[in-house]
Chains A and B, each alone.
Chain A
Amino acid sequence: MRNTYSFKSSISPGSVFTVFAFLAVMCSLQEIMAQDAADVLRKMDDVVFAGEDQTSGIRLIMTDRSGNERVREAKVWQKGSNKRLFRFTSPAAEAGIAFLSLPDDVMYLYMPAYGRERRIATHVRNQSFAGTDFSYEDLEALRYSERFEASIAEEKDNHYILRLVPLPGTRSDYSEIIVTINREHYYPERMKSFDRGGQEYKIADYRFERKGDYWTTTEIRMTNLKRQHSTRMIFDDIEFDTGLDDDIFTVRNLTRY
């Protein structure tokens, strides 16, 4: 009781106002920073998903801990920020295997050997796509700002460093992503992902180049820290805004191989 009285007696109306003002300023600052972080993430998305559509060839070079390399080649079609078709062209054993990502977590896999497509359930999202260090989730064409809540972890002269955590109700196998964003052009330079247990899981290093009106990814190096295995995804023959038809992103087209 004594302590309570003592406490009460030590607070003046002025100091109460000061505390509330401080809290209000802090909340506003936090909101402003969160707002800034969300804006930065949206701008990053605008760069990553630049253009109405995009077509490119892809070379995947997988390197194991002993330095042995295996190569995969594929072609990718993307429209907007939620439709992507990925089709392997080599090696022969995997040529024709295709993956279609559509809005609302709908994904299909086509295996030519079976002659029919297969819906992919969400348990596959965290699995390696065809032995690479990219998971099905990594290959989905979905805007980060629609799946993750961003906060500024650090600001540097040339970079924003954001901390991303999945929005409530979002299915992700990453508990957290720390993304380093180029301050001038807003493209990601590095993403460090953490698994659900909070352990460091993957690091993706991005290389962007200016192609016409857009900054575009020319290479992603994905390193799986657990497997000590990495995959370089090298993009070539990149074309923007060729007017890709919605028919490309259908099961009808997926099975045309």
Chain B
Amino acid sequence: MSEVVLSVAGLEKSYDDVIAVDGLDFEIEKGECFGLLGPNGAGKSTTLAMLEGMEEPTAGSVRYYGAPLPSDYQTRVGIQFQATALQDFLTPFDNLKLFSSFYDDPIPMDQLIEQFRLKDFLHRDSRRLSGGQRQRLLLALALVHNPEIVFLDEPTTGLDPRSRRDLWDVVSDLKADGRTLILTTHYMEEAEVLCDELVILSHGKTLLQGTPEQLITDAGVSDLDTLFLSLTGETLVKTQEVIE
């Protein structure tokens, strides 16, 4: 059995009188791609923020190898935020150099440039990158210190089909490296392709948990969207619909 990297117990997060996350329990094993699936407002990003150590839970806990999050947790995780601006007028090269300077033993820049195929736009103002180029840069910045766990918050939202496929390839390569990936998405096809384990959230609560195949088989439905519809009356976004 694989080692548990992160374990979540009774996790809750409230903002004033709004409950964003309402009592989650799950474990994430080393080397797996763990997906948090759900529509907008389901609590995916808030849950991810607590797993990243960026937000404090209102109640419950996130444990790293069974212990509280260590003080150097930020050096062990890489985060690709859903919406991140970079400094104006800086190029991908400048940004890689900047973020590399934050760590003691960063991955050589040449290696990152090649791995994330940044060469063609390395010296372009970051504000003029396409969606796919920008996401590849953000992913490279998240990986600059060779982290053990990588968080990806809706990494393909707003991308065209080709850029989406490109990013899937990059994420698959990261999986093949043996990294633990934690991914939020509301695209079921993405979850089916990339994730080993899924938690389906709605209104901050776990609706179902399991492998994509297991969830579909157990429910006797054709796909995750149909499953979600049958559970909540709401529909997830089908990737193909978005593409079309």
**Pair from one complex:** no
Which positions in A face B, CB cutoff 8 Å? none
Which positions in B face A, CB cutoff 8 Å? none
